[in-house]
């Protein structure tokens, strides 16, 4: 799954994303692991809201505006 971020963003989140964009290879994966998991809410008018909790993955494209850069999202498994 891919996610993009649009302004306005929290300054801390923007700094973490910028830091992740600048890293490559294993350094990028280590930087992604340091970012806390995020929770996304998919609000589909045709269906019920869906909550997804996952970890960001380094983007493939590293140039351009933040809103144009797609980060991977690895969904965390739910335990009950």
pLDDT tens string 1-41: 888 988 899 999 999 999 899 888 999 999 999 999 999 88
Q: Which residues face 51 on adjacent strands? A: 41
| pLDDT digit string, tens, across residues 6-16 | 889 999 999 99
CA 52 to chain centre: 11
Q: For 44-70, what is the mean pLDDT?
A: 88
pTM of the complete model: 0.76
> In the structure, what pLDDT confidence band is assigned to residue 80 with cuts at 50, 70 and 90?
low
H helices within the chain, ranges in order? 11-22, 25-34
């Amino acid at each position: 799954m891919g996610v993009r971020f649009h302004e306005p963003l929290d300054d801390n989140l923007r700094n973490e994303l910028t830091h992740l964009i600048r890293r490559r290879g294993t350094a990028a994966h280590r930087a992604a692991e340091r970012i806390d998991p995020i929770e996304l809410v998919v609000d589909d008018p045709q269906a019920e809201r869906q909550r997804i909790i996952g970890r960001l993955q380094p983007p493939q494209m590293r140039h351009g505006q933040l809103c144009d850069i797609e980060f991977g999202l690895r969904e965390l498994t739910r335990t009950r």
